[in-house]
Every structure is written in structure tokens, then in C-alpha cells.
């Protein structure tokens, strides 16, 4: 078999290729357009803008520095997430090596490289790949410091931990896992720590807490707003009773692949119970991360307000791949070969769907098609307020055209008074009901000339997380309007139905 080093290098190359392929092929979706908007803010404004997107600022500081050099295209916006996603592969290797040995780290890095969920979020201009990377690095550095006692490792660990805290609101959940490492994962190492070591650790944690206090205050205000219903995070649904368990299927985008990986994790569980040692340490760390990042938010969701969502649990996923990797590393050669072939075969389907079908609505193509038909005096109405950043990014309006994002039907009175044509863009069912208003008997001034709905099949990835249904409706004034040609959008994006 290949050496651990060769497996890791192969995994890094393969994972980099899978994450780089088609990086800019799909449009930004709504959350990514929020990232694009924030690139226009200063570094100070990015800190205080946290409440507008329920995200903490570190990822956006890094992205702003990058986009200042690379521009604002889709590829440039997604490159930081790509880099962090690729860096996660060797990070899993070193964590597995520190916990058990190089073989476990190598096979864990291989499973990380081909995981479809991690690939997806390595191609999205959001902070989730950075959250996973810094979490893994913080665990590795904590264990490294406990073993070495070097002050440099302690400083690096505290830096990585502050990075986790500043990457995502769920970053604070890394702290219970650190406590688990100290008390449960390495009790024998803890006993060898001197009073000086513990004193420096406490001082470092105090400094980290002071640096985190301003952000914690902002987060507390945001959560209070969520409890009162005034937060942008109000979209988070109430999780199912077994949501942390169902999230495993999200991680692998395929039921058979999920089952195969869970079988490997069960083998690792038995190994950890029977043999102890490094496998037991990895198992305890994985359980503590599952409790902290999945079940604790689930409990808050059930008792206070919904905060649980599958992508927020991402720091737990690399530990799942490491657990499965530890089972592979302990198998005889024939069993390992057979298991790897099965996992590769089952991974082909979700990876093929991800790279060949649409995971995000083709907003870029839709808006470009509308832009070619816009004339002075036309009005573009977005019947979903949260899509305005997409319109700003993809649809620069010609001089004389107007953009309207109504919060009620009354907001339409002024813009429609002198409008020549109306282009209504509706996401899902819309917020205000503008289309129903135009089609009702309450107004006879406007006539529906064409209507196009985004096709749900066959081009949509059935496992897509971020796909919204878009409808474009074109209205003309009833008395004098000629019959305009409907907007031309490529047939592979839309099912066309013309209503006169």
C-alpha cells in the first residue's frame, strides 16, 4: 500500500482539484451576495455590521483584503473559502497524526478530500470552511501544547481559538470541546502539567476572553433581537427532533455513502472501547464536538429560539472523517482496499451531481437576460426584499430604469405612475404578493404579457442546499402597450409558458 505521506499528498491534490473545478460556473446565491455587499465596507464597519448577516467578522476581513487585490468576480469572492477548504485536508492529517498516528491522519485526509459537503462549502463565499479549518487547528495545537509544554504552542493555540470565536457565532462552542480535551481526552498528560503551565493557560484564556467581549456583546444583542422576532436569523426553522442525527445524511449527500461511513465509525467505536489509546481519545473528542456543535444548539432551539442549522455544525465533520479513517487504517489490506473502492464508488454519484447539475439558482443568466431588454422608464420589482444584493451585483440598471423592493403594496404607487414596462422578479412565493395584486381585479392598468418559472428539473441537484425557485413576470400597460417579445432566457434554465 501507499505510504501515509503519499496518501496525504494525493488527497491534497485530489481535494484541491475537486474544490477548484467549476468554482465560478454558478451564480452567487443570496448569502454570497451578502458577502459581496460587505466587501464595500471598511474593516471597522465590518465589525459593527455583524447584525445584518448574523456572522462574525474574521472571514470578511480576510475576504476584503483579498478582493481588494483580486476583484469582485465570483471566482475571486469564493477563493478564500477554497483556500481554507483545501488547507483543511492537511490539517486533518496532522490532527490524526497527533491523536493516533500517520496512517489514521492520511486516511482521514483522504475522506476529507472527497467529502461532497466539504467540497460544497469550499466553493461558497461564506465562513464555514474557515470555521472547520480553525477548529481542527485549535484542537491540534491544544494537544500539541499539552504534550510539549512549549509557550509557542500555547500562543498559537490561543490565536487559533480567537480565530474560531471571530469566524462564526457558533465558534464559542469550541470551548467545551477544549475542556473535554483537558479533562477527558488526555487526563494522563494533564497530570504532568505544571502549575506554571496552567497559570499561563489561564492568563491566555483571560486575554482571549477580553478580546472576545466586544463581539460577545454584539452577539448578545443579536440574539435578543432574534428572541423578539427582529433578527435576520429569523429564517432558521425549528429543527426536527432528531436533526443532529439526520445531519449525517447532509454531510455525505447520499444515503448509501452515509451508511458506509457510519459503519466505519462504528468499527472505530468498537476499536476505541476495546483497545483504548489514540482511537479512544479521538472518539471522546468527536463525541464532545457532536454534543457541543449539534446537540447543544438543538437544545437551545427547542427551549428558546431556533439556532440549529446543519452547516453550523461543520467543525464536527472532520472528526467524522478521522473516525472513519482510523477504521480504515486498522483494517487488513484486502478489507481496506475493498472499503476504499466502495466509498469511491458511492462518492461518485453526489460528486457528479454536484459538478454537473445546478446547486444554486442561475441568477446571473436571468438578470443578464433582463438587462438586455430594459429601457428607460422600465421598473424592476423584487418581491423578496432579501434578494436586493443579488440585483445590485448582477443587474446594473440603465439610466432611467427604476428598481423597487416593496415592503408593502403601498410602496408601488409612486414608481408605477410613469412606468412603461414592469419586470417582476419573485423568489419562491414572494413576500408582498405583488404578482397576485397585478393579476387581481384590483388593477386593470397592467396586463401580463409573459411569465417564466425556473425549472425544478432535470438540471437541479436533488441534494442542493441553496436552490431557490425564481419567476419572472413581464407586465405592460393595458391600453396602449404593444405585444413585447418575452425575455429570452436559455431553455436549460426555464420552463416557458406564455400567457396573453
Q: Where are the domains of the chain?
A: 4-356, 363-497
Q: 79, 99, 184, 177: which is closest to 134 by C-alpha? A: 177
Confidence (pLDDT) at 418: 84
Q: Kindly report the CA angle at 230 between 408 and 291, in degrees rounded to 5?
A: 135
State the pLDDT at residue 453: 78
Report residue 311 as a C-alpha cell.
Answer: 452547516
**Of the candidates 83, 5, 9, 18, which has an alpha carbon nearest to the alpha carbon of residue 344?**
18
Q: Are strands 402-404 and 446-454 parallel, antiparallel or unpaired?
A: unpaired
| 37-69 per-position pLDDT tens digit | 999 999 999 988 865 456 899 999 999 999 999
Cell of 10: 494525493
Cell 405592460 maps to which residue? Answer: 476
Nearest of 93, 117, 122, 125 to residue 20 by alpha carbon = 122
- At residue 132, the pLDDT reads 98
Strand 470-477 with 446-454, pairing: antiparallel
> Buried b vs exposed e over 362-401: b needs ≥16 C-beta within 10 Å?
bbbbbbebbbeebeeebbbbbbbebbebbbebbbebeeeb
To the question of pTM greater than 0.85 for the whole model, the response is: yes
pLDDT score, position 494:
44
Where do the H-state alpha helices sit in 228-295? 243-252, 255-275, 277-290
Tell me how far CA of residue 337 lies from CA of 3, 321, 328, 341, 482, in angstroms. Answer: 14, 17, 9, 6, 68
For residue 173, give Cα distances in angstroms to 34, 38, 484.
Answer: 25, 25, 56
- Alpha carbon of 147 to those of 144, 162, 205, 224: distances in Å? 5, 21, 18, 41
Share of residues in the chain with pLDDT > 70 (%): 92
Alpha helices (H) in 56-99, listed in sequence order: 58-70, 74-99
Cis peptide before 144 (omega within 30 of 0): no
How many Cβ atoms are within 10 Å of 23's Cβ, its own excluded? 17
Say what the pLDDT of residue 479 is. Answer: 61
E strands, 141-207, in order: none
> What's the confidence (pLDDT) of residue 332?
94
Which residues of the chain, if any, have pLDDT below 70? 1, 50-54, 229-232, 385, 441-444, 454-458, 479-500
CA dist 496 and 489 (Å) reads: 9
Are the C-beta atoms of 425 and 449 separated by less than 8 Å? no
Pairing of strands 494-497, 446-454: antiparallel
**Which pLDDT score is estimated for 486?**
56
Distance CA 255, CA 249 (A): 6
How far is it, in rounded angstroms, from Cα 234 to Cα 230? 7
Quickly tell me which residue has 452547516 as its cell.
Answer: 311
HSE-CB at 363 with a 13 A cutoff on CA atoms is 29
**DSSP-based three-state secondary structure for 441:** coil
How far is 173 from 170, CA to CA, in rounded Å?
Answer: 6
Average pLDDT, the chain: 88
- The torsion angles phi and psi of 423, rounded to 5 degrees, stand at -115, 110
Helix spans in 304-387 (H): 317-330, 333-356, 363-371
Which residue is it, cell 487547528? 137
**Which long-range contacts does 457-460 make (Cβ < 8 Å, 24+ apart)?**
459/357, 459/358, 459/492, 459/493, 460/357, 460/358
Amino acid at each position: 500500500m501507499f505510504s501515509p505521506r503519499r496518501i496525504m499528498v494525493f488527497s491534497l491534490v485530489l481535494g484541491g482539484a475537486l474544490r477548484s473545478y467549476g468554482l465560478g460556473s454558478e451564480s452567487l446565491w443570496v448569502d454570497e451576495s451578502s458577502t459581496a455587499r460587505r466587501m464595500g465596507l471598511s474593516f471597522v464597519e465590518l465589525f459593527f455590521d455583524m447584525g445584518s448577516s448574523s456572522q462574525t467578522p474574521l472571514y470578511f476581513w480576510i475576504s476584503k483584503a483579498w478582493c481588494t487585490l483580486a476583484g469582485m468576480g465570483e471566482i475571486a469572492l469564493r477563493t478564500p473559502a477554497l483556500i481554507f477548504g483545501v488547507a483543511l485536508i492537511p490539517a486533518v492529517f496532522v490532527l490524526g497524526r497527533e491523536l493516533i498516528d500517520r496512517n489514521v491522519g492520511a486516511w482521514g485526509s483522504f475522506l476529507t478530500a472527497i467529502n461532497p459537503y466539504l467540497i460544497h462549502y469550499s466553493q461558497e463565499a461564506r465562513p464555514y470552511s474557515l470555521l472547520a479549518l480553525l477548529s481542527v487547528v485549535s484542537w491540534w495545537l491544544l494537544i500539541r501544547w499539552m504534550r510539549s509544554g512549549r509557550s509557542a504552542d500555547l500562543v498559537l493555540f490561543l490565536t487559533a481559538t480567537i480565530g474560531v470565536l471571530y469566524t462564526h457565532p457558533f465558534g464559542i462552542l469550541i470551548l467545551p470541546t477544549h475542556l473535554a480535551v483537558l479533562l477527558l481526552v488526555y487526563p494522563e498528560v494533564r497530570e504532568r502539567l505544571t502549575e506554571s503551565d496552567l497559570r499561563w493557560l489561564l492568563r491566555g484564556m483571560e486575554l482571549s476572553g477580553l478580546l472576545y467581549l466586544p463581539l460577545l456583546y454584539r452577539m448578545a444583542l443579536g440574539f435578543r433581537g432574534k428572541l423578539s422576532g427582529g433578527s435576520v436569523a429569523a429564517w432558521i426553522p425549528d429543527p426536527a427532533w432528531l436533526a443532529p442525527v439526520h445531519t449525517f445524511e447532509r454531510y455525505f449527500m447520499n444515503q448509501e455513502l452515509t451508511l458506509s461511513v457510519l459503519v466505519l465509525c462504528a468499527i472505530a467505536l468498537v476499536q476505541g472501547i476495546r483497545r483504548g489509546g489514540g482511537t479512544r481519545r479521538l472518539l471522546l473528542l468527536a463525541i464532545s464536538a457532536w454534543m457541543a456543535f449539534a446537540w447543544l444548539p438543538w437544545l437551545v432551539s427547542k427551549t428558546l429560539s431556533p439556532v440549529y442549522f446543519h452547516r453550523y455544525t461543520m467543525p464536527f465533520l472532520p472528526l467524522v472523517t478521522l473516525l472513519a479513517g482510523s477504521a480504515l487504517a486498522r483494517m487488513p489490506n484486502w478489507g481496506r482496499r475493498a472499503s476504499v473502492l466502495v466509498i469511491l464508488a458511492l462518492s461518485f454519484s453526489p460528486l457528479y451531481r454536484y459538478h454537473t447539475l445546478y446547486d444554486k439558482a442561475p441568477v446571473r443568466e436571468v438578470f443578464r437576460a433582463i438587462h438586455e431588454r430594459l429601457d428607460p422608464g422600465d421598473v424592476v420589482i423584487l418581491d423578496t426584499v432579501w434578494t436586493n444584493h443579488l440585483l445590485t451585483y448582477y443587474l446594473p440598471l440603465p439610466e432611467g430604469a427604476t428598481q423597487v423592493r416593496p415592503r408593502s403594496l403601498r410602496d408601488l404607487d409612486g414608481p408605477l405612475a410613469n412606468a412603461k414596462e414592469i419586470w417582476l422578479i419573485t423568489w419562491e412565493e414572494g413576500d408582498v404578493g405583488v404578482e397576485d395584486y397585478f393579476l387581481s381585479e384590483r388593477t386593470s392598468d397592467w396586463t401580463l404579457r409573459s411569465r417564466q418559472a425556473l425549472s425544478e428539473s432535470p438540471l437541479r441537484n436533488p441534494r442542493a442546499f441553496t436552490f431557490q425557485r425564481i419567476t419572472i413576470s413581464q407586465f405592460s400597460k393595458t391600453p396602449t402597450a404593444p405585444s413585447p417579445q418575452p425575455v429570452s432566457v436559455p431553455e436549460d434554465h426555464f420552463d416557458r409558458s406564455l400567457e396573453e
